[in-house]
Amino acid sequence: MAFLLCGTVAVAVLVGGSPYWMYNMTVVALFATAAIGLNIMLGYAGQISFTQSAFMAVGGYGSAILGTKLAVDPWLAMIFSAVLAAIGALLIGIPLLRLRGHYFGMASFALALGTPSFLLAAASLTNGPLGIAGVPPLRFAGVSFLDPIPIYLLAWGVCIGAFLVEISLLKSHVGRAWRAISTNQDVARSLGIDARKYKLLTLAIAAVMASLAGSLYVEFQQYVAPDIFDIGLIMTIYLIVYAGGRGSIAGPLVGAVFYIVVPQLIGSLEQFQHLVFSALLIAIIVLRPNGIMGRGRQYAPVERILPLWVQRRLRRDYD
């Protein structure tokens, strides 16, 4: 149902041809792609990770540096950046995945926190705080993906491809292994499941998805700078996953629509926009604790939201 609704909205935006909404829905597709990778790690493999922003930086800066300084074809630059992100995920994951639970999460958080600082320090490659402008756009058969409709279609094509990869993996033995590891890692190992191998696979898949999202975002904007990949980015991706419902297939897409589109719809409220959006987010946390599309028990009883003295009065009147 969620896919049908979001698909209808995406087609309506394309048919309507509004550049403003086409831009916003392109961003929805890119953020959803990165969030799918985090959802696989967090929702299915049970692995807390903050590396998505770092791997988006690999994709974004990889495409920008290769395209502007080495004149590499943008398609090849995007593919090479994704491969580099996967290799980097494996190199990082081999030592870090010796850590379990929140310790790996803290180590990955340090990586995400240090990414902007590294990009600023490597000024000979990244141009430091100035960033890299004039990133060459993707082209195919004479069509420039700098135009709104082609990049819109490409972003949604990559997003749909990421969803198909997620669904196929979840239906395979890999998905069953992820669920077993998430439930109880020690029991999974006793059943012959190599938890470390499957977690490395999860990290690599998430890195590729984040890298593709980062490359397309930079190609879309034709500009990249270190502050794009600060800690606020990974917090945004986490919000998208949790609001949409971690561990649900449609969660990243619904969460991205909530985070990107809803603020635009309430933009007329001006100074009350952030207050209303925060209230909506709190309502989701209280009424849908597993997210909008989350699994398990939902809809917390309304009386729990009320003050304690009101709850006592209601119970007394009921008795």
Structure confidence by residue, pLDDT tens digits, 103-150: 888 889 999 999 999 999 999 999 999 999 989 989 888 888 888 888
DSSP annotation of 302: G
* 8 C-beta neighbours (distance < 10 Å), count: 10
Walk me through the domains of the chain, giving residue ranges and CATH numbers.
Answer: 2-257 (1.10.3470), 266-319 (no CATH)
CA distances from 288 to 220, 284, 291, 300, 301 (A): 34, 5, 5, 7, 10
Residue 1's pLDDT is 52
Q: Measured in Å, how far apart are the chain's first and last C-alpha atoms?
A: 41
Report the distance separating Cα 113 and Cα 66, nearest Å. 24
Identify whether the C-beta of residue 52 lies closer than 8 Å to the C-beta of residue 34.
Answer: yes
- Residue 50: which of 259, 207, 209 has the closest Cα? 207
Model pTM?
Answer: 0.88
Report the distance separating Cα 319 and Cα 186, nearest Å. 47
Residue 287's pLDDT is 80
Residue 185's pLDDT is 83
Report the distance separating Cα 161 and Cα 158, nearest Å. 5
Residue 119's pLDDT is 94
Please report the beta strands in 49-106, taking only residues with DSSP state E, as ranges in sequence order.
none
Sign of the Cα torsion 33, 34, 39, 40 reads: positive
How confident is the model over 264-278, as pLDDT tens digits? Answer: 888 777 788 888 888
Report the distance separating Cα 229 and Cα 223, nearest Å. 13
- The 10 Å CB-count burial string (b at 16+, else e) for 147-167 is ebebbbebbbebbbebbebbe
Identify whether the C-beta of residue 37 lies closer than 8 Å to the C-beta of residue 52.
Answer: yes
Give the bridge partners for 224, in sequence order. Answer: 132
- The C-alpha angle with vertex 307 and arms to 305 and 312, in degrees rounded to 5, equals 105
Give the bridge partners for 30, in sequence order. Answer: none
Report the distance separating Cα 240 and Cα 187, nearest Å. 31
Ordered mean pLDDT values, 10 residues apiece, the chain (319 residues): 57 68 90 94 89 95 93 94 95 86 85 92 91 90 83 92 93 90 84 88 95 94 92 92 89 91 82 86 83 65 55 55
